[in-house]
Amino acid sequence: MVVIKLDNVNKIFDPDVHVLKDIDLEIKDKEFMVLVGPSGCGKSTCLNIIAGLEFVTDGRVFFDDVEVTHVPPKERRVAMVFQSYALYPHMNVRDNMGFALKIDKMDKEEIAQRVENAAELLSIEELLDRKPGELSGGQRQRVALGRSIVRNPTVFLFDEPLSNLDAKLRIQMRGEIIKLQKQLRITQVYVTHDQVEAMSMADRIAILNDGKFQQIGTPTEVYNTPHNLFVAGFIGSPTMNFIDVRFNERNGNTLEFADFTFELTNELAEKIKTLGLTQLVLGIRPEHIKITPEHHEKSFEVQVSVIEYLGTETLVRFDLSEGITAIASSNGFYPVKMGEKSFISFPKEKIYVFNKDTGKNILIE
């Protein structure tokens, strides 16, 4: 078993790129932890620190209760899978998979056995005698996984392993990595900038931005209760709509924007009063906006500017006021054309409210 712990870790690259700022992270035994965040936020750096390929400027790293902060990668028993899998082109799959074990002078029969087992796990038995050039992208990625599995790692680290694959293959490999996790039952850390990948694979997601973890939680936690504007905007697709609003206590505790008035739950209204805030940001996900071609109860009329029909849903972009647009998602086909009118309402129990100054979800403050 391996519990990975980062304790107050800082990483500063020369001259003074402060990538990780006092971060703490605990990855549970056999957990599938996904690190997400925008390009350049420090995901790979964080993973490399866990692998021992990069060392902290300050802070400590533990595997279980053993400090490994200065332990080289070879002694950590971690396997790492990268985006580019660099297989040896002149070797067949069997030799590619067994190569590291051979270097370690492992017994030939043991190597053969381990390669067979890994090949079976990955369903690539019939490819063992082929060269990498004779494989598809997905098959090559599976060989790269196999090459790591044969080493019986105690920790599996992935750095965007699927980003070279086309969309269809990514979804297939995503499923296979989830299946593999169930079979291997070891601690895994998976880096991606793709929030759909993160949501679908993770036991927990850690969202990194500005050198800090903005939130660490299960996919449902980060989707249902984003702690701040960044997380709210990063998780979910299409992204959450944000509208700058004013709290109006006289008008029955509502949020107001231009000609619109949005009702609030008692919980939110009380919290806003307790915090004494007036300038807020309202957040609502496209899938939670009610949009209909005809008037419905408490709905507002809006002008539809763009319609995107995607099969299972239709994305409807509409104008709220001059230059301010929002997106609603409607199940299936939505029978309204661009330039026509529609009616929207925001169910109050689906509304998020953020502090405009701090960006925090007011229910978390």
Query: Under the criterion CB under 6 A, does residue 45 sit at the interface with ligand ATP?
Result: yes
**CA–CA separation, 167 and 5 (whole Å):** 33
Cβ count within 10 A of residue 157: 25
DSSP 27-49: E-TT-EEEEE-STTSSHHHHHHH
From 36-44, 76-84, 147-155, 229-237, span contacting Mg ion (CB under 5 A): 36-44
As measured in angstroms, the least distance from the Cβ of 155 to Mg ion is: 18
Cβ count within 10 A of residue 99: 16
Helix (H, G, I), strand (E, B) or coil at 187: strand
Q: Taking CB within 5 to 8 Å according to partner kind, which of Mg ion, ligand ATP, none is near residue 331?
A: none
- Which of 5, 43, 142, 174 binds ligand ATP (CB under 6 A)? It is 43
Query: Under the criterion CB under 5 A, does residue 48 sit at the interface with Mg ion?
Result: no
Query: Under the criterion CB under 6 A, does residue 193 sit at the interface with ligand ATP?
Result: yes
Query: Under the criterion CB under 5 A, does residue 187 sit at the interface with Mg ion?
Result: no
Angle at 284 (CA atoms; ends 281, 285), nearest 5 degrees: 140
- Which of 5, 42, 146, 354 binds ligand ATP (CB under 6 A)? It is 42
Q: Taking CB within 5 to 8 Å according to partner kind, which of ligand ATP, Mg ion, none is near residue 39?
A: ligand ATP
Helix (H, G, I), strand (E, B) or coil at 349: helix
Query: Under the criterion CB under 6 A, does residue 88 sit at the interface with ligand ATP?
Result: no
> Do residues 319 and 325 lie in contact, with contact meaning Cβ atoms separated by under 8 Å?
yes
Compute the half-sphere exposure of residue 361: CA atoms within 13 Å on the CB side of its CA: 20
Helix (H, G, I), strand (E, B) or coil at 118: helix
Our CB check for ligand ATP shows the closer of 193 and 360 to be 193
Query: Under the criterion CB under 6 A, does residue 19 sit at the interface with ligand ATP?
Result: yes
Query: Under the criterion CB under 6 A, does residue 149 sit at the interface with ligand ATP?
Result: no
From 37-45, 59-67, 220-228, 264-272, span contacting ligand ATP (CB under 6 A): 37-45
Query: Under the criterion CB under 5 A, does residue 45 sit at the interface with Mg ion?
Result: no
Our CB check for ligand ATP shows the closer of 41 and 111 to be 41
Query: Under the criterion CB under 6 A, does residue 211 sit at the interface with ligand ATP?
Result: no
Query: Under the criterion CB under 6 A, does residue 329 sit at the interface with ligand ATP?
Result: no
Cβ count within 10 A of residue 275: 15
**CA–CA separation, 187 and 78 (whole Å):** 10
As measured in angstroms, the least distance from the Cβ of 192 to Mg ion is: 9
Our CB check for ligand ATP shows the closer of 39 and 220 to be 39
**CA–CA separation, 255 and 252 (whole Å):** 9
Burial of 137 (0-12, 13-18, 19+ CB in 10 A): middle
First to last CA, the chain: 36
DSSP 89-100: TTS-HHHHHHHH
Our CB check for ligand ATP shows the closer of 210 and 308 to be 210
Our CB check for ligand ATP shows the closer of 52 and 132 to be 52
**CA–CA separation, 252 and 2 (whole Å):** 54
DSSP code, position 130: S
- Which of 1, 40, 278, 340 binds ligand ATP (CB under 6 A)? It is 40
From 41-49, 170-178, 237-245, 339-347, span contacting Mg ion (CB under 5 A): 41-49
Measured from each CB, the residue nearest to Mg ion is 44
Our CB check for ligand ATP shows the closer of 41 and 326 to be 41
**CA–CA separation, 143 and 98 (whole Å):** 11
Size of the chain in residues: 365
- Which of 44, 48, 141, 187 binds Mg ion (CB under 5 A)? It is 44
As measured in angstroms, the least distance from the Cβ of 85 to Mg ion is: 15
Query: Under the criterion CB under 6 A, does residue 331 sit at the interface with ligand ATP?
Result: no
What phi and psi, each to the nearest 5 degrees, are found at residue 208? -105, 135
Our CB check for ligand ATP shows the closer of 39 and 312 to be 39
Interacting residue ranges for ligand ATP, rule: CB under 6 A: 13, 17, 19, 37, 39-45, 193
